[in-house]
Structure 1
Amino acid sequence: MTQVIPADPGQPDSAEHLVPQAGQVWFPDSAAKTAQALLDFNREELPLFILANWRGFSGGQRGLFEGILQAGSMIVENLRTYEQPAFVYIPKAGELRGGAWVVVDSKINPEHIEMYAERSAKGNVLEAQGLIEIKFKPDEVEESMLRLDPQLSRLNARLLKEIRTGTSETETVRIRSAMTARMKQLMPIYTQVATRFAELHDTTSRMVAKGVISKVVDWEESRAFFYRRLRRRVAEDSLAKQVREAAGEQMMHTHGSVLECIKIWYMASQGQGDGGQWNDDEAFFAWKDDRNHYDKHLEELKAEQVSRLLSHLAESSDVKALPEGLSLLLGKMNPLKREQVMDGLRQLIG
């Protein structure tokens, strides 16, 4: 990839510059575009799909000067405040590493972001070569050689014996030279084994075991899977919006609490059963399409919200607050509904 920086028309001596850019890397300009896209999608209430295949952010003095840290932090902030269904998918043969993983992790917004990976995808903060340089240093590799290689074990035993007896300095030097040569011969093999062991921690099965992704989704099934998953999330969010409007923001202040309320209603209407019924998408769609299943619950939430409002007015030190509040409320109703409310109040008053 190449970034084209055009010449400045105001400076006759300026010229066009071509700046090469590596693939799978966020640069200041591309990271800023990503952050702006997330902001625009959220404002337009659009679902979000991210095919994550990045190895990190560009480093260096130039990247810092051009605002790579600010752009990365804006990606995190815009994902944190994203209120629509969001899916992060590491595609076939893709990888997600370094700071790129950090800014799209589902823990940033667990109520709205779900993370998946294809079976052949890889993901970790550090690459395997970098990981073994930290977790399996050369001294530790040499200790493993002495423990596992029979030839080195014999040479080491002879060396220790020579050091204790001190009979021949020449023999001690010769044994040390033989051990050094043997370690140099074995080092590529042990490094290769260590690298492969570190790569095993990058697999999707390990990601699922650690809980950093929700599920492994094969590339061939991804289109159908995400269609069903998006349809389910849109249906849940549509009903959650109704529940939040009926109950008020104070009672249902998080998206998770609203979904838990919906789940309780759904499981109660389905009778006794395990939690697997909640994951049956077709059954949920049929339940949601029939408003008789939850209209009663919505009316109860609305009644509780009005009750809290009237109780607040009644507890006010201003004795005129309640009558004035009722007057404003009745004034906003249509005549038919106002008459029904008046009849209900007359019955209560007696």
Structure 2
Amino acid sequence: VVDPSVNATRMEMYADNEARGGILEPEGTVEVKFKPRDILKTMHRMDPELLRLGSRISELKEQIKEISKNLDRRGSVDDAIIKTDAGKQAESKVRELETELLAAEKTVKAREKELSPIYHEIAVQFAELHDTAERMLEKGCIFDIIPWRESRRLLHWRLKRLLRQNEQERRIQAAGVLPAARMDHGAAAATLRRWFAEDLGQPQS
């Protein structure tokens, strides 16, 4: 495993603009973190057509429930009621609503099937954004982003600077500017940054 935390005082990691962390492929991330049921929930939350259909299905179910108050649990009409015009109208209305409900649910399934590959691709793209150099920098996995074409020059000067810096830190430690118990690498580096700021202004990392 390559990780600056192995030796945080001596290791720095950089990445090109187009680099990827490569911990897990986007497809794998989606498979683990964004399962089909989650994609369906997202569809029903964002797609206008599914929102409209979902609202209509809820209305139909509520209407059927309201009309069916005089129906038994099997959905059949009580004999005494069916003989009346009101009972016949209620039965007819329930069947009409149930037919519309089935059609709406069938349309929902077709819409979900149509949108599934699109939303899956969006999910993969979203997962890929979590593996970019910008994301690694934000999470503190790398020190900076540098273009590949300029990496040799930039890393050369960065290494020269760090070697000089380490040399000065060792001199500070050897000189005993701070008590021995406190003079570790971090204290020496902080002292050097403070001197630099006092002499030339705000230090750079």
The normalised TM-score by structure 2 is 0.71
Instruction: Give the SS at the match of 1:122.
Output: coil
Residue 131 in structure 1 maps to residue 29 in structure 2: yes
- 1:111 and 1:242 map into 2 onto residues whose CA distance is 17
The within-5 A match list for 1:22-33 is: none
User: Which residue is 1:262 aligned to?
Assistant: 192
Amino acid across the alignment from 1:250 = A
Residue 229 in structure 1 maps to residue 127 in structure 2: no
User: Which residue is 1:56 aligned to?
Assistant: none
User: Which residue is 2:104 aligned to?
Assistant: 175
User: Which residue is 2:84 aligned to?
Assistant: none
Shift of 1:188: 0.5
Alpha-carbon spacing, 1:156–1:266, altered in 2? closer, same or farther (3 Å): closer
Alpha-carbon spacing, 1:148–1:261, altered in 2? closer, same or farther (3 Å): closer
User: Which residue is 2:13 aligned to?
Assistant: 115
Instruction: Give the SS at the match of 1:192.
Output: helix
Could you list the per-position Cα deviations for residues 132-166 of structure 1 after superposition, in whole angstroms to 9, with x for gaps in the alignment? 33443322322222233233233223322222222
Ranked by relative contact order (alpha carbons within 8 Å, sequence separation 6 or more), the top structure is: 2
Shift of 1:170: 4.0
Report which stretch shifted further, 220-229 or 121-130: 121-130
User: Which residue is 1:242 aligned to?
Assistant: 171
The within-5 A match list for 1:88-237 is: 103-123=1-21, 125-166=23-64, 167-168=94-95, 169-237=98-166
Whether the 8 Å contact between 2:196 and 2:203 is mirrored in structure 1 is no
Alpha-carbon spacing, 1:263–1:164, altered in 2? closer, same or farther (3 Å): closer
Alpha-carbon spacing, 1:184–1:246, altered in 2? closer, same or farther (3 Å): same
Alpha-carbon spacing, 1:165–1:234, altered in 2? closer, same or farther (3 Å): same
Instruction: Give the SS at the match of 1:120.
Output: coil
- Number of equivalent positions: 172
Shift of 1:204: 1.6
The normalised TM-score by structure 1 is 0.44
Amino acid across the alignment from 1:216 = I
Instruction: Give the SS at the match of 2:181.
Output: coil
Could you list the per-position Cα deviations for residues 222-266 of structure 1 after superposition, in whole angstroms to 9, with x for gaps in the alignment? 1111111111111222232333333385341x3121122223334
Amino acid across the alignment from 2:192 = I
Q: Unpaired segments of 5 or more residues in structure 2?
A: 65-93
Amino acid across the alignment from 2:105 = R
User: Which residue is 1:27 aligned to?
Assistant: none
Alpha-carbon spacing, 1:170–1:119, altered in 2? closer, same or farther (3 Å): same
- 1:262 and 1:241 map into 2 onto residues whose CA distance is 10
Q: Unpaired segments of 5 or more residues in structure 1?
A: 1-102, 280-350
Q: RMSD of the alignment, in Å?
A: 2.4
Could you list the per-position Cα deviations for residues 70-129 of structure 1 after superposition, in whole angstroms to 9, with x for gaps in the alignment? xxxxxxxxxxxxxxxxxxxxxxxxxxxxxxxxx322233321111110011012644322
Shift of 1:183: 0.4
Amino acid across the alignment from 1:137 = K
Whether the 8 Å contact between 2:13 and 2:141 is mirrored in structure 1 is yes
- 1:146 and 1:227 map into 2 onto residues whose CA distance is 53
Which structure has greater helix proportion?
Answer: 2
- 1:137 and 1:158 map into 2 onto residues whose CA distance is 26
Amino acid across the alignment from 2:203 = G
Report which stretch shifted further, 235-244 or 187-196: 235-244
Shift of 1:202: 1.8
- 1:220 and 1:131 map into 2 onto residues whose CA distance is 30
Amino acid across the alignment from 2:3 = D
